[in-house]
Structure 1
């Protein structure tokens, strides 16, 4: 049976509580959706695709939940059970996904199973709350008030997630904290509707709340256990920033950096990558006074740039301030880049690379693109014809630009799409002349065969590669071999990458999936 009509004072309390509960459960529901999208993009890549799938599945499940709610006989009773279930499933969503991935290497079934359950339960909430308000004889009840509270809660969650939740809690603690919030809503509802509460609900809510609070208190330990399962080595740093998941591992003297669980360098062989990226371009440029590095927040590329005489200024642009802070202020990490980010010639700018290129009027002798792989549209735009055209306005007439371009083995089409894209870029220094474009590659054990593209506004005669002392990998002989591609990595016909097509994402994902999935 429905809740009996309450006395005026009691009814007013219940009205206020139900509208507040609508706001709170809306906040929790959207946080779960954002956590699911973020974790799936961390573990599965292609954030645009993953968020699109998560949103679609979640909203469809909410629609199913709204329909299912008609079969709930006692609305208040059903609402309380829904909150208990959401507190458990939503609260343990992030731990479930991380531990499942660590144990099996797969996360799809757990992700979408949990997401559907959360969506169904969330979809039941508003219809049930509306029925409870009607059943208690709420004199000022209007359905649009319930919807307004729900939408305001969604707005609050969407603003809080990047600005407060992730920077201060991280994914694991956030999931458990908002699960505890759902359980707190269930507990207060049990108190306010105690005449309808069952013993099973009291016990279920109490046990779930105790388990969630204990897990929340131990969340840092849960993160450590999950990281230990995900990575081969000891995890010395694990932080979730508004931009990415930063993980640093160590085994004896060997240090590795992972961003969103993808390896960025291994201290055992990173010199092969960074020497190949930096020194050919620095040797080709007529001057190296002013250097721009986009990405490379670990400072390794900056370290190699500073080996060259004549460098007066290095501008390092990296989106995530936490990255540059860690590799500047943490002695163990700063030692890996030789204290490069502490050098007075280095100016760190924490900004979006595109926005920086648009806003600056500076012209640079060497421009280095040490950017993450183009595994989603947000990164693909930094490998687009439009961005490359903008960057060429920032390269001096006698300057050189170089970009990392992925693996010509694992993502052969993606690598040559980067080359093809550069071939469509207008040469601002000589509009009637094509840019001089040189693709090359090097073997880096942690990554496999890796490719680079060097671009110059003006063609110049080949000259001996003038390298600084102390390099471990690159020699003039290695450089000559780096420009030769084997038959299975040589050029293929591909399309350029533009903001309209983003063909590079398909090439990149298709190549890596072919090899590793």
Structure 2
């Protein structure tokens, strides 16, 4: 050893600490990127963690064959892990942006790319610990139990630091792409320094030169990718959203992108976390079908849950007799864009300039728990699809029970429940959940441009199903007709899946 055994042993444990921190950052990065792009964070986290743990076991077995050349093998593994882990977020984003699909293993399931990257990273991480055990024993022999305890202590503390650094430092300060690249650079530098500095004498001259060149190339590649990360993100954004992106901001709650809307250009579009939420070609079909049937009756006080874009509010304000509209949306910056962005404000008819509209920036579930401003004649739940893990609680029996509590006798609740044909079980689970909360609901569906469709419910706490007919409205409204609503109800009814249980907070069914 070029250093005293105690110092060398401390440096090896410090290397274990850094490698463990980097490994956990890679895992969290994969989960975050997959959840952001594909939704359903529970599925993505389960796939990444289970595949990586399985692959780590395989890697540990493979390490048996590498123990005789532990120093060289460890240096090569760290260089490969730094490259794969550092570039993993960029690779996943590129696949999503330029192919538009993930190649799911099953419908709505994980991506083959995600499984492959998780498998590769798990194999490399699994090789690390056995090789580090061999290296630390070469410095100074000790009983295996003590060596394992020291090694795992450094490993677990490193995992703690990496797990905290990802959400509180790397993600907010550097973003997903640059954060992963920076982690890879640290991983490569520490691995190379540990092997070449402490165990260089175990390597031949050719092996030292090869390892040094490999790590320099890895660091150069990661550094170049970090420099080009902004250009890459813009190019990926053009592939995702087209070349007419007007607004692209990270609000803290979500990524908001507004496209189109210029003179002679394509219709405006609103993307939230990479998913098209509003398309100027067909948004009126959806919002009119969602709002107008619910407004058939008393409508002085209206509560809109979600709908920060202001488009549901626009339809509510078309009806005479509305005195107050209370909007609850978790993203105040989206509401600010809906108020100030010229394209989005024109699309929603400058709804937020109406003095009858007031806005509360809060989670819809939390707001309903403390709401004391009821009762409301109409509640509009303009929320993301129930298949999204983050919104599953907004389609639970508890949520609908809270909504029923703030409704006036005879009030109506309009619910967006995701696609009917694409996910009939999730759609009809919403109906079962409404029923479990004491609400009677009538189903219907509306189609948009291309293959887009929306499943809807109109519910009421009364003993009978509310009538599905449009309310009288003010001038300028192009509402759906009563005949088309009846046809929409029959179309939805043909997809019914009977016998589904209700979804609850403790047992989400979506």
Structure 2 residue 84 is matched with structure 1 residue 89: yes
- In 2 relative to 1, CA 170–496 (structure 1 residues): closer, same or farther, beyond 3 Å? same
Distance 2:7 2:404 in 1: 65
Pairs within 5 Å for 1:153-232: 153-189=158-194, 192-193=197-198, 195-196=200-201, 198-232=208-242
**Does structure 2 conserve the Cα–Cα contact (< 8 Å) formed by 1:417 and 1:494?**
no
1:48 CA displacement? 1.6
Distance 2:287 2:404 in 1: 22
**Does structure 1 conserve the Cα–Cα contact (< 8 Å) formed by 2:288 and 2:480?**
no
1:138 CA displacement? 8.5
Look up the match of 1:509: none
- In 2 relative to 1, CA 143–49 (structure 1 residues): closer, same or farther, beyond 3 Å? same
Name the SS for the 2:413 alignment partner: strand
- What whole-Å deviation, never above 9, does each CA across 1:130-179 have from its counterpart, x for those lacking one? 33233223999753333223222322333333344333333222222222
- What whole-Å deviation, never above 9, does each CA across 1:262-309 have from its counterpart, x for those lacking one? 32110222122112212222332x1423x3222223222233333445
**Does structure 2 conserve the Cα–Cα contact (< 8 Å) formed by 1:171 and 1:240?**
no
Distance 1:223 1:451 in 2: 34
Of 52, 58, 72, 1:64 maps to 58
Distance 2:171 2:321 in 1: 42
**Does structure 2 conserve the Cα–Cα contact (< 8 Å) formed by 1:408 and 1:489?**
no
**Does structure 2 conserve the Cα–Cα contact (< 8 Å) formed by 1:294 and 1:353?**
yes
- In 2 relative to 1, CA 310–14 (structure 1 residues): closer, same or farther, beyond 3 Å? farther
Look up the match of 1:145: 150
Structure 2 residue 35 is matched with structure 1 residue 41: yes
1:31 CA displacement? 1.8
Of 126, 129, 136, 1:133 maps to 136
**Does structure 2 conserve the Cα–Cα contact (< 8 Å) formed by 1:283 and 1:467?**
no
**Does structure 1 conserve the Cα–Cα contact (< 8 Å) formed by 2:30 and 2:89?**
yes
Look up the match of 1:76: 71
- In 2 relative to 1, CA 335–138 (structure 1 residues): closer, same or farther, beyond 3 Å? farther
**Does structure 1 conserve the Cα–Cα contact (< 8 Å) formed by 2:378 and 2:411?**
yes
Look up the match of 1:352: 363
1:118 CA displacement? 0.9
Name the SS for the 1:485 alignment partner: helix
Look up the match of 2:108: none
Distance 1:170 1:341 in 2: 32
1:456 CA displacement? 2.2
Of 354, 372, 376, 2:384 maps to 372
- In 2 relative to 1, CA 475–371 (structure 1 residues): closer, same or farther, beyond 3 Å? closer
Distance 2:434 2:218 in 1: 57
Is the deviation greater in 229-238 or in 206-215? Answer: 229-238
1:82 CA displacement? 1.8
Structure 2 residue 473 is matched with structure 1 residue 470: no
Structure 2 residue 283 is matched with structure 1 residue 270: yes
Name the SS for the 1:406 alignment partner: coil
Of 270, 275, 280, 1:257 maps to 270
Distance 2:449 2:237 in 1: 23
Of 402, 419, 436, 1:424 maps to 436
Name the SS for the 1:258 alignment partner: strand
1:439 CA displacement? 2.6
Structure 2 residue 447 is matched with structure 1 residue 437: no
1:12 CA displacement? 4.7
Structure 2 residue 404 is matched with structure 1 residue 392: yes
Distance 1:30 1:242 in 2: 23
Distance 1:487 1:321 in 2: 34
Name the SS for the 2:447 alignment partner: strand
Is the deviation greater in 319-328 or in 166-175? Answer: 319-328
Look up the match of 2:93: 98
TM-score (norm 2): 0.84
1:311 CA displacement? 4.3
**Does structure 1 conserve the Cα–Cα contact (< 8 Å) formed by 2:86 and 2:183?**
yes
Of 454, 457, 475, 1:453 maps to 457
Name the SS for the 2:377 alignment partner: strand
1:360 CA displacement? 2.7
Pairs within 5 Å for 1:236-315: 236-238=246-248, 244-250=254-260, 252-284=265-297, 286-289=298-301, 291-315=302-326
The answer for unaligned runs of 5 or more in structure 2 is 104-110
Look up the match of 1:29: 23
Distance 2:458 2:199 in 1: 72
Look up the match of 2:106: none
1:21 CA displacement? 2.5
Look up the match of 2:372: 361
Distance 1:272 1:463 in 2: 15
What value does the CA root-mean-square deviation take over the aligned residues?
3.2
Distance 2:337 2:227 in 1: 26
1:482 CA displacement? 5.4
1:96 CA displacement? 1.6
Distance 2:84 2:3 in 1: 35
